[in-house]
Chain A
Amino acid sequence: MINGNLKADYSADERILNNRNKQFFVYGSMFFLTLFPVFADDYAVLMACKMGILLIAVIGVNVLTGYTGLISLGHGAFIAIGAYSTVIFSNLFDGLPTGILPFVVVPLAISVSAIIGIIVGLPSLRVKGLYLAVATLAASFIVKFLIEQDLFSPWTGGIVGIDTPVPNILGWELDTKREMYVLITVLAICTMLAAQNLFRTRVGRAFIAIRDRDYSAEILGISLLRYKLMSFAISAGYCGLSGALGAYFYARILPDQFGLNLSLELVAALIVGGMGRTLGPFFGVIIIMLVPELIKISMSSATGGSLDWARYTAPVQEIVFGLLLVFFLLKEPLGINQITDRMLRAINRWPFARG
């Protein structure tokens, strides 16, 4: 029996938060996020900022992998492009007043990312599945390699990295982590809403049709060329925004931050959270970022913070990361979102059967 989902008119059916539990969850988390910097300590704020930056990138991967069905193992490269373009353009437009510099630089970084995304996406017209995964992986290795080259080091700083500018929004200088937290949280919520709304439009529906069966979609009149490249551009743009925020957040960026591990982390967060769902990236990022932290804290408290054991922390974190990915693939391929869906449904229908 379906209950708790009474819709009296179409506008109620079209709402994003179409039942009370969702409303409660979303507004509750927004309220929590607003209060968070008030009572959290510096370390928690730092972690929250990192999560927000990763979240925006995972939403981007979700557009490509979750909704359009194209596997990418190279999205770390787009974050790198976003971050490095932010730094390069900031240095390039040095003459502009600092207050409006981010409004010029960040859109530029996003568009550079999106353009590179289209270029990397070109093989997706001819190949898919794992061929595409390897093609994107190869592209990301090439991007990282080029960043590290001495040839470009006047702009990118080469292998030792480059210092990043402090963002200044219309005179408001965001030089503390707490101020960055505000910016990152607002942008993360906006991108999430944008992604949610994208899939209520013609473009988003075309993406989903391509995911479900690309040849069928083509027969229905959806141009694969156009929409696959558009999907690549949008997801690379999201990653570019994430990279730009990362550049503003960290005092220095290094090519090694954007290696294979980052790309894998993005995909893992998406799988753990739930692919093709709006809140999937949200849950996934929380798990992927918090579990290693918990391991670190519990290991250091269990061993009394001795240095002999500290060197085992990183390998254990790595193993648990892999195990998480494998566990979710084997046991709950639809991710945490599926679990929360089940719970919400059960609450909605209480005291009736949980189906």
Chain B
Amino acid sequence: MGQFTQFAINGLMSGAIYALIAVGIVSVYKATKVVNFAHGYLIMFGAYFYFTFAVIIPGQEWAPEWLASWKPSWMLEMRKGLGMFSPLGAVLDWMANIPRILLGLVGAVSCNAILGRVVERTLMRPLMGQSVFAMIMVTVGLISILSGSASLIWTADAAFVPHIAPNTPIRFELFGTMIFLFGADIVNMLIALLIFGGIVTMVKFTKAGIAIRATAEDQSTAYSMGISVPKVFSNAWVLASTTGAVAGAILATRNGISPSLGLFGFSVLAIVLMGGLDSYVGCFIAAMSVGVLEAMTQWKMGGEWAAIVPYVAVLVVIIFRPHGLMGQKEVERI
């Protein structure tokens, strides 16, 4: 039981990140009926943008000094005399990084928003009304374009990326066992859950969200009701790429930046299909359960087997429920 709780909590934390990524794929699918195979590579771009704005730019000579490391006098005063691993010390260390973390997040989100809009305008818009196959294959082509450009632009080796939240180790007792967690992981999970919840509420209640749902229901009817469908399309892509940017930043702090971040998108794609392409709730359930399953596999069978858990899970689910756990069944007429 002891280990179990620890791994279950770890699983839930990575499940939350999966959910954050899944929200992008689901939003694009709901609005445009396109499954974005290149979403993982959008995330990779988000991670690289975060790296650029949080590490490379503050490291330049022309950048002001407070950007790289913000050290007001009161902070130095407090820092004095604190032990090496004291929680307050970790928080203060993190506060010194606040300016560049904020710059990194803002930069990553805005750059990725532009990227998402450009992709939608140049590649997806001309294909409106074309077959699903063509649209999927365009996103497959986008994979190569994005991963090639990323290795063309960011040739430098990715160094340390600052954590979004203070990374203090936290220990507490739950069900009679010691649980050991990192502060940053908890904050990451909270961010992911907040964004996920925010988007679901937005789609449910705001005007733009209702436009997305109406377009998902029936494009031509939505058109005739005065909804600008092209606008909905590009909003959905921007939504996907901005959430992807946040997810990319989180992943960059967790696992470091590498081109393999793009492959991460495929496992999330598997999760989305498992949950049902057009259901936020289904994806949330699938993301959490895959997260936990992965953690359990890691515990029982070793780290590398965890890599194929999403793929095995999606195959099993698809055979029994072809449209995912909570996906809407498509009605086909001849």
Chain A residues within 8 Å of B, Cβ to Cβ: 71, 73, 122-123, 126-127, 129-131, 133-135, 137-139, 141-142, 145, 149, 213, 215-216, 219, 260, 264, 267-268, 271, 311-312, 314-319, 321-326, 329-330, 333
Task: Tell whether B137 is near chain A: CB-to-CB under 8 Å.
Answer: yes
With CB as the reference atom, state the residue of chain A lying closest to B149.
Answer: A319
Tell whether B147 is near chain A: CB-to-CB under 8 Å: yes
User: Chain B residues near A325 (CB, 8 Å)?
Assistant: 137-138, 140-141, 144
Known A135-B314, A135-B315, A329-B137; judge A322-B266 contact (CB<8 A).
Answer: no
A232 smallest CB distance to B (angstroms): 15
Residues of B within 8 A of A73 (CB): 37, 140
4 tightest Cβ-Cβ pairs between the two chains A and B = A322-B144, A318-B148, A325-B141, A322-B145
B176 touches A (CB below 8 Å): no
Select which of B126, B145, B322 is within 8 A of A126 by beta carbon.
B322
A134 in contact with B322 (CB, 8 Å): no
Partner of B141 from the list A126, A127, A215, A323 (CB cut-off 8 Å) is: A323
Whether B322 contacts A315 by the Cβ 8 Å rule is no
Whether A322 contacts B136 in the complex (CB less than 8 A), given A123-B315, A123-B318, A216-B334, comes out as no
Shortest A120–chain B CB gap in Å is 9
Task: Check B270 against A323 for contact (C-beta < 8 Å).
Answer: no
Are B137 and A131 within 8 A (Cβ)? no
Q: Closest approach, in angstroms, between the C-beta of B319 and any C-beta of chain A?
A: 6
B127 contacts chain A at the CB level, 8 A cutoff: yes
Give how many B residues have a beta carbon under 8 Å from the other chain's beta carbons.
44
By the criterion CB–CB under 8 Å, are B136 and A138 in contact? no
Give the docked Cα–Cα distance between A312 and B151 (Å). Answer: 8
Does B35 make an interface contact (CB < 8 A)? yes
Given A130-B132, A135-B314, A329-B134, answer yes or no on A321-B144 (Cβ-Cβ < 8 Å).
yes
A178 to B134 alpha-carbon distance, docked (Å): 39
Q: Evaluate contact between A267 and B144: CB separation under 8 angstroms.
A: no
Q: Max chain A CB contacts within 10 Å: which of B140, B147, B319, B323?
A: B140
Taking a contact as CB atoms closer than 8 A, the residue among B35, B136, B148, B315 that contacts A319 in the complex is: B148
A272 CB to closest chain B CB (Å) equals: 10
Q: Decide: A135 near B145, CB < 8 A? Known: A130-B35, A311-B155.
A: no
B266 CB contacts on chain A under 8 angstroms: 137, 141, 260
In the complex, the answer to whether B308 meets A264 with C-beta atoms within 8 Å is no
Taking A134-B35, A145-B307 as given, write out 14 further A-B residue pairs in contact, using a Cβ cutoff of 8 Å, ordered by the A residue number.
Answer: A126-B319, A126-B322, A127-B318, A139-B315, A141-B311, A142-B311, A260-B263, A264-B140, A264-B143, A314-B148, A316-B148, A316-B152, A325-B137, A330-B126
